Chains A and B, each alone.
Chain A
Amino acid sequence: MNPRSPPARPHIGLHLSRFSSTADWGEDDAWDSTSDSESPRQSTLNSSRNRPTASSTISAPKAVPRNSSSSSSSTLAFSYTHLQAPSSYPPKDSIPQEAPKNGWTIVRTSHSRNTSQSKLESGSIQKGVDLDRYARENGDTDVEGDMILGDLEPEASDLVVDAPNAPPTHTSKAKHNVASIRTDADDIVIDPLNGIKNRERQREPSPVPSKSSNLTNSRPLSENREKNEKLLRERSIRTNRRHKFVDCLSSQDVNIGELRKLAWAGIPGDLRPMAWQLLLGYLPLPTPLRATTLERKRGEYQNMVELAFARGREGLDQQIWHQIEIDVPRTRPGVRLWMHEKTQRSLERILYVWAIRHPASGYVQGINDLVTPFFQVFLSAYIDSDPEEFDTSLLPSHVLSAIEADSFWCLSRLLDGIQDNYIFAQPGIQRSVRRMAELVARIDAPLSSHLESQNVEFMQFAFRWMNCLLMREISVQNTIRMWDTYLAEGPDAFSQFHLYVCSAFLVRWSEKLRTMDFQGIIMFLQSLPTQDWGDHEIEMLLSEAFVLNSIWHNAQSHFNGR
């Protein structure tokens, strides 16, 4: 098998019509998904037909039973992540699993959050991650704690601020105040491209030299020369990629095919808000239409909110409201952003307005989780600090309203593709779980029969995987990276491609699961050890899913039921 790098997906730009039209996505009425439902399916078919490499190299699905995904996944990982030098990743097992002790955990948490967030952000660097990786690899013990913190925090905030001369001394904590709101927030409200352009302007001169010297200082030079060269090389590749991205986003009429191709492999953090909105068909591709469209959509949402809440609390649909009221405080519990009053009120409005406009499903638990990536990503466009630590009451109200409205519309677009997950008896989920079981029986027969012998039913664990799109299994940062690819895949990715991701996800634990009994399996699958997962693990998963999708999506007759 000669798996090809997933990001190169020539077919992806073939369906411009669906996304370039700005006229037809104005009406997101309840059940407009019914009319939509044709096109996603159609587009999948077309796209799979137009996937020459995949279908020609892997032409006989029946003849490729894969007992274990491990061999193919490693091949893939190399071909896919070669740009990111997979060799520098330690085998997962060698990563020390620190016991969560006080102090240390705090350092780790904030550090990993910062790095994973900013990882792709400035295109230039991945230093935090690399350093960390380096430390693990070499079994360095002296890089722990304060040293990592001292080294990374300025870096991370530097990344976010993206001002080359930012003083490298303050911690990110100190910045969660009004000062972290970007001065050009008003311009960004009008068109997200303004924010990107402003940032690009600040970007020169390149901050690279200071960063590399910073790195060298942290450990003996000789040990690091090779490492540094590699880092520089990676960095320049990433910078290149970033340039392409920025060029793509800055063009007068964004080429959606090009954008999808780029987005499949992950979107730099600061470009993500705009890229997501374009990919979802919320933001018009031609620049001149954007300001007016955004204004109109946000106004529309505002009207819906006013209408829905016009008669006070008593005028609300009590059943829906009750459930939302219960769930909002337990959305991302413990994360500062989601504990703030203003954020919670926004979330309530988004959920309620969506629910009453989609009476066949209404609000279903788990949809609250799906709002959070949008909200956090869109918020990140306006601030220079970690969105999860941000107090939304500091935002000017029109900025918060814009974030809220954008989140609403993008959530609506996402849910349009998976609405039958949430209607009575949840047929969409039932179907996906059934197909996943059939697929796993094909790709990992030993696991499948072990699960069966232990009386484990897929519904017992995979229901949640479908209902919350794996958001209960992986972190929000992981989810956000995953959605880059889903959104690049197209509107049906959240139902179709997700099925393959879930299958790859399950098979990933095959070896372990096959040694467990019923209780062990269920408990294990209920709290999977993905806490340390970063982009690398997610990208592995996505590439495995890509291969599965390529092999099986044209072979529907192998699935018994529909």
Chain B
Amino acid sequence: MAEGSNYDYLFKVVLIGDSGVGKSFSKYTQPYQSCCPTAVLSRFTRNEFNLESKSTIGVEFATRSINVDGKTVKAQIWDTAGQERYRAITSAYYRGAVGALLVYDIAKQATYANVTRWLKELRDHADSNIVIMLVGNKSDLKHLRAVPTDEAKAFSAENGLSFIETSALDASNVESAFQTILTDIYRIVSSKSLESSTSNIEPPKASISVGPTVDNNAQQGGKCC
């Protein structure tokens, strides 16, 4: 999966949220089925190295690219482990992030209740201008829904977050989560650069990502995966 070695913008985005809410959907196109033995049983032939449903240890990395206004916007996504013990390690990755996807499980009230704690984490460790999107995951589990969409929507509006519900069973939803947050970030960044640059010429490479980043053009892009 060649990501394309060229991009106009590079954004660092962190994925945060409680353990087990399905944060790692960014990495896998496969549906999460870890808690559903029968589904797993039917797929015994798969490669045991496929980590699609193992827990995330520390921080794992993924990328996504989208197009906005004819520009290639690339995201470096740092998928963090949800467990408290890892917080000391993972919070270091907030530094330089311009976006955060804060994920909860619509079927588990507790994961939604913890959203405020995660927001505090971000306030403590991340850039104050970070764009945050609240993501209600596993929306396919309608019959188990514990968090009403309206409630989460209202909460997001109050706190200046964008909001979306996703299902890893429905990959397009996941795509649109990324599309939305990256577009939001892009709009902010490009409007800022318009304001700030006297010549009104957009910088060719506007990487506002700090921390571990590809400082230049990726010499050879899609060697990964």
Contact = CB atoms under 8 A, between A and B. Distances in A.
Interface string A355-399: 000000110111010000000000000000000000000000000
> Which among B41, B44, B48, B58 has the highest number of chain A CB atoms within 10 Å?
B58
Nearest to B225: A523
Contact of A330 (B34, B213, B224): B34
Interface in B15-59: 19-20, 34-35, 37, 40-41, 43-59
Q: Is the interface of B mostly helix, strand, loop or mixed?
A: loop
A514 B88 CA distance: 30
Interface in A404-460: 422, 424-426, 454-457, 459-460
Interface in B76-95: 76, 81, 83-86, 88-89, 92
A467 B34 contact: no
B155 interface: no
A186 interface: no
Contact of B55 (A100, A330, A527): A330
Contacts of A105: 45, 47
A516 interface: yes
A334 to B, nearest CB: 5
Contact of A102 (B45, B211, B215): B45
Interface string B188-225: 00000000000000000000000111110011110111
A333 B212 contact: no
B63 interface: yes
Interface string B149-173: 0000000000000000000000000
B124 interface: no
Contacts of B57: 365-366, 463-464, 467-468, 472
Nearest to A524: B224
Contact of B81 (A361, A365, A422, A520): A365
B54 A519 contact: no
A518 B85 contact: no
A455 B89 contact: no
B121 interface: no
B127 interface: no
A531 B47 contact: yes
B35 A364 contact: no
A517 B41 contact: no
Given A100-B47, A330-B34, A522 B61 contact: yes
Contacts of B58: 459, 463-464, 467
B26 to A, nearest CB: 13
A368 B37 CA distance: 18
Contacts of B46: 334
B60 interface: yes
A28 interface: no
Contacts of B41: 336, 339
A522 B46 CA distance: 24
A520 B223 CA distance: 6
Nearest to A457: B212
A518 B213 contact: yes
Contacts of A130: none
A329 B59 contact: no
A106 B56 CA distance: 27
A330 B36 CA distance: 10
Given A109-B45, A365-B85, 19 more contacts: A326-B19, A326-B20, A326-B55, A327-B19, A329-B34, A329-B35, A329-B37, A330-B34, A332-B48, A336-B41, A339-B41, A463-B58, A518-B214, A519-B218, A520-B218, A520-B221, A523-B223, A523-B225, A527-B49
5 contacts: A329-B34, A332-B48, A365-B57, A426-B88, A459-B58
Task: List the 7 shortest-distance A-B pairs measured between CB atoms, nearest first.
Answer: A523-B224, A326-B20, A463-B58, A330-B34, A425-B88, A520-B223, A464-B57
Interface of A: 100, 102, 105-106, 109, 319, 323, 326-327, 329-336, 339, 361-362, 364-366, 368, 422, 424-426, 454-457, 459-460, 463-464, 467-468, 472, 475-476, 515-520, 522-524, 526-527, 530-531
